[in-house]
């Protein structure tokens, strides 16, 4: 099986997949970003397109004040009796939710809150008589008691009322590694299989599996556990885990899973966060055997350009704790994206920031920005690459001044330069670090903040990219790069991104 890896690049963690006829549907986590839980479609497991989002309107998630790391965790997508289901954790919000739709492109339901099943990484499965089993990881992100972990738990649930039909039962919780999570139940070849992740979502991440004759257990662990892990290896894809099994078009099997691509001399910094990967699976003696996850980037890189020609924003744009339509419009001035700054900046929990997942480890974004000219007096906005509100780099235009800014936790530095009183092209370049020795070689990349003046690109700052990585920021997301406004009305005539893999 020769499939691209990453399968879906950039910030796309915790993948879950379902096969319905000849079609595949895959969903991933989005945490504090909206719209939430993208749904991707494929017919060959190779080419994927985003067809919609589960969360596309207010009220489905309790996102407005969710802290960093909260929001939509680890969706499981399934199909049963003509209906699509997504079970998910609204961490630090509504709790355990189940969304339904007749069409995976949407619209999806408002989300049924499940009572009596507090945890994360919910999975749904149905036995032969239609009984619904909700299996999940016993970490409480709702009441604040997140210090205790209850292992892998299970309840039978009534999806008409949203109530658990029994007290949570503890079932097989792995081999003893930390943080048993991401359970999925499958019926195959006379057994029910319970597959989980354990070892933490960091370098010790792994996948283990057990089986029994009932979806409720008891379960017997595979003597070969863990069946997948990259820990203590030289593989370029690390942190492999949180897998979901699916049949391939040729009748074989595969696992989709999350992984990370750490860079630098010590492979310590993962700029793009947790991405979706895939690897072949075979069955031997009634157990799945998983091949190591092989790096196989799509050739040629990629590009995206938005001239904002339609009233609807492209579905790849996402915002932080609010929907893009609350501050961004292409209908107000056709052919121009207009952002309304409300005084909030990139340090704030709900910035007027509209971003796209960074998909390549070498990438340039650019935009023509009008902020503070005669048409937009007193405005300020520009380009930014963001991990969270405490880790971001930006370049901002205000009148005849452009300001580059780096925010790393409690440390901030700025650089300014005069520009003409007219729209200015701003750029952010993500560059691979130089070869050789020294501190520069240790980092994942460098990030240059630029303004184009009289046709020449002026670099105001070139910054160490390791501070916008999963390991440094400690957020569960990935780099998101795009446009923002801090005050007034800021206009963007176009936005472009181009990317490739490192040499």
| Catalytic residue set | 14, 181
Angle formed at CA 85 by CA 84 and CA 91, multiple of 5 degrees:
150
Angle formed at CA 309 by CA 303 and CA 311, multiple of 5 degrees:
120
For residue 362, give both structure tokens: 């070498």
Return contacts of 45-53, CB within 8 angstroms, 24+ apart.
Answer: 45/3, 45/7, 45/248, 45/249, 45/254, 45/278, 46/3, 46/4, 48/7, 48/8, 50/315, 50/316, 51/104, 51/105, 52/104, 52/105, 52/106, 52/315, 53/106, 53/315
Q: How many CA atoms lie within 13 A of 453 on its CB side?
A: 14
Length of the chain (residues): 503
Cβ–Cβ contacts within 10 Å for residue 283, how many?
12
Distance set, CA 189 to CA 7, 127, 347 (Å)? 28, 14, 53
CA proximity to 91, closest of 42, 134, 140, 46: 140
Establish whether the linkage from the previous residue to 218 is cis, with ω within 30° of 0.
yes
Question: Which runs of consecutive H residues, i.e. helices, occur in 274-320?
Answer: none
């Amino acid at each position: 099986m020769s499939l691209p890896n990453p399968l879906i690049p950039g910030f796309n963690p915790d993948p879950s997949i379902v096969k319905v006829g000849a079609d595949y549907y895959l969903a991933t986590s989005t945490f504090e970003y909206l719209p939430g839980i993208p749904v991707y479609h494929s017919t060959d497991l190779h080419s994927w397109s985003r067809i919609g989002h589960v969360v596309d309107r207010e009220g489905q998630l309790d996102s407005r004040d969710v802290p960093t790391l909260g929001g939509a965790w680890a969706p499981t997508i399934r199909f049963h009796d003509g209906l699509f289901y997504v079970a998910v954790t609204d961490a630090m919000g509504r709790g355990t939710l189940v969304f339904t739709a007749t069409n995976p492109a949407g619209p999806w339901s408002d989300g049924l809150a499940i009572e009596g099943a507090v945890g994360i990484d919910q999975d749904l499965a149905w036995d032969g008589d239609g009984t619904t089993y909700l299996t999940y990881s016993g970490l409480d992100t709702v009441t604040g008691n997140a210090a205790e972990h209850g292992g892998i738990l299970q309840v039978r649930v009534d999806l008409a009322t949203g109530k658990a039909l029994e007290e949570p039962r503890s079932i097989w919780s792995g081999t003893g590694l930390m943080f048993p999570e991401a359970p999925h139940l499958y019926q195959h070849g006379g057994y029910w299989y319970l597959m989980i992740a354990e070892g933490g979502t960091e370098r010790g991440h792994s996948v283990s599996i057990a089986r029994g004759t009932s979806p409720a257990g008891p379960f017997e662990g595979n003597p070969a556990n863990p069946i997948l892990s990259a820990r203590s290896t030289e593989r370029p894809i690390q942190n492999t885990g949180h897998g979901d099994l699916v049949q391939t078009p040729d009748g074989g099997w595969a696992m989709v899973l999350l992984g990370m691509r750490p860079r630098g001399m010590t492979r310590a910094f993962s700029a793009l966060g947790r991405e979706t990967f895939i690897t072949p699976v075979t069955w031997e003696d009634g157990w799945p055997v998983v091949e190591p996850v092989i790096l196989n980037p799509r050739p040629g890189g990629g590009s995206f350009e938005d001239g904002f020609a339609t009233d609807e924003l492209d579905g790849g744009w996402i915002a932080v704790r609010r929907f893009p339509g609350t501050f961004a419009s292409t209908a107000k001035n056709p052919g121009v994206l207009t952002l309304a700054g409300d005084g909030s900046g990139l340090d704030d929990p709900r910035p007027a920031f509209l971003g796209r997942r960074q998909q390549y480890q070498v990438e340039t974004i650019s935009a023509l920005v009008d902020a503070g000219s005669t048409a937009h007096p007193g405005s300020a906005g520009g380009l930014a690459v963001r991990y969270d509100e405490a880790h971001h780099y930006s370049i901002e235009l205000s009148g005849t001044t452009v300001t580059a800014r780096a925010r790393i936790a409690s440390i901030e530095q700025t650089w300014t330069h005069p520009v003409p009183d007219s729209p200015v092209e701003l750029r952010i370049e993500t560059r691979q670090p130089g070869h050789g020795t020294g501190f520069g070689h240790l980092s994942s990349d460098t990030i240059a903040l630029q303004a184009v003046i009289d046709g020449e690109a002026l670099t105001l700052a070139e910054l160490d990219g390791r501070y916008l990585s999963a390991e440094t920021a400690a957020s569960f997301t990935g780099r998101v790069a795009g446009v923002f406004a801090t005050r007034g009305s800021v206009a963007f005539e176009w936005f472009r991104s181009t990317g490739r893999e490192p040499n």
